[in-house]
Structure 1
Amino acid sequence: MSVFIQQLPALIGVVIGALGSYVVVVRGDQARFRREQAARWEERRLAVYADYAQSVKKTVTVTYRVAAKLGNDPHPDPLTLEEAKPLLADATTRRDPSGEALIMLGSPEVVDKARAWVVTAMEMEHFVRASRQDAEAWQALLERQRAGREGYYTAVRDDLGLPPGHSARWSLPAADPVPPQR
């Protein structure tokens, strides 16, 4: 038998081992690439979700302040409607592009919950722009807004695979009565 034929099984083993190593490395690189790509998209979605939430919350906060000036809300920093108009316009201007990013990158459930939340925020804005003085109606809007925000955050956590979070509903201590003057 020739030397070549005697060494052929070893040579075939080396070739098979090299091919096996190559396949393992390529598949490992592909899996790592997919994981890194998924992590990048997840980070981007989280940023879009947070940006949208902040833009809606800006509208909500300004409406709280105007409602306080109208006597509907106990917010400690009331604001007149005239002072609030530029802030509301800025909030809307900021919310529109973040809403587009949300539609592009968000899951359908998150987008649906975001829409429910923002519709309530827009109703709150309409309420204060109409200078309504109705504390009960305002309180109902607040409850809908809080439920909308909670639903949005729950959908975001589900989409990102995060554990359940805090509902952000906590009761505030009653205001201390003013001590008598001596």
Structure 2
Amino acid sequence: MSAFIQQLPALIGVVIGAFGSYLAVVRGDRVRFRREQAARWEERRLAVYSDYARSVKQTVTVTYRVASELGNGTHPDPLTPEEAKPLLAAANAGRDPAGEALIMLGSSEVVARSRAWVVTVMEMERFVREGTRDAEAWRALLDQQRAGRTAYYAAVREDLGLPPGHSARRPVRGGDPVSPQR
């Protein structure tokens, strides 16, 4: 019996060590699971943010082409308002589900910035649907749209923890070197 009592401290040490190892492994697994889960959600949010931006940009491109046909812009592939109707309808139909996903997964700041951007894009759409011929008003809408897009992308980058990105202001080839692209 005395041999057992002599080895009892060592046995207690082994039990405590095994229990400590178990706790360390469980805690490490929990931390890794949370980190992986956060990474998956960030990937999903990035996909939703990108899909939404792409859907809004489709409307911008169509309106830019129609504005060129109306004499308000300089897009190389003008489009008549009649030709644009099905394209605008398709762009709007694609934007709705992308917007719902954005509302569901996006941060409140990103959702607010997306709303400001899309309201301007809807004004651009109304402008060309009405057949307005006013180059200065169109230029103001384009500037407002660019500012909305920039604010949206800045909010997305902040939400995803990315460093500030490019402002998307680059010279148009053959045009004014200060003039930004769409």
The two structures have a TM-score, normalised by structure 1, of 0.94
After TM superposition, the runs of 4+ consecutive aligned structure 1 residues lying more than 3 A away are none
Stretches of structure 1 lacking an aligned partner (at least 5 in a row): 176-182
Q: In 2, distance between residues paired with 1:158 and 1:19? A: 42
- Equivalent runs, 1:20-169 vs 2, <5 Å: 20-169=20-169
Q: In 2, distance between residues paired with 1:173 and 1:43? A: 34
Corresponding residue for 2:180? none
Q: In 2, distance between residues paired with 1:7 and 1:171? A: 81
CA deviation vs aligned residue, 1:91-127 (integer Å, no higher than 9, x gap): 0000000000000000000000000000000000000
Stretches of structure 2 lacking an aligned partner (at least 5 in a row): 176-182
Q: In 1, distance between residues paired with 2:17 and 2:173? A: 71
**Deviation at 1:173?**
4.3
CA deviation vs aligned residue, 1:50-106 (integer Å, no higher than 9, x gap): 000000000000000000000000000000011110000000000000000000000
**Deviation at 1:174?**
3.9
**Deviation at 1:169?**
1.1
Corresponding residue for 2:7? 7
Q: Secondary structure at the match of 1:109?
A: helix
CA RMSD of aligned residues (A): 1.2
The two structures have a TM-score, normalised by structure 2, of 0.94
How many residue pairs align between the two structures? 176
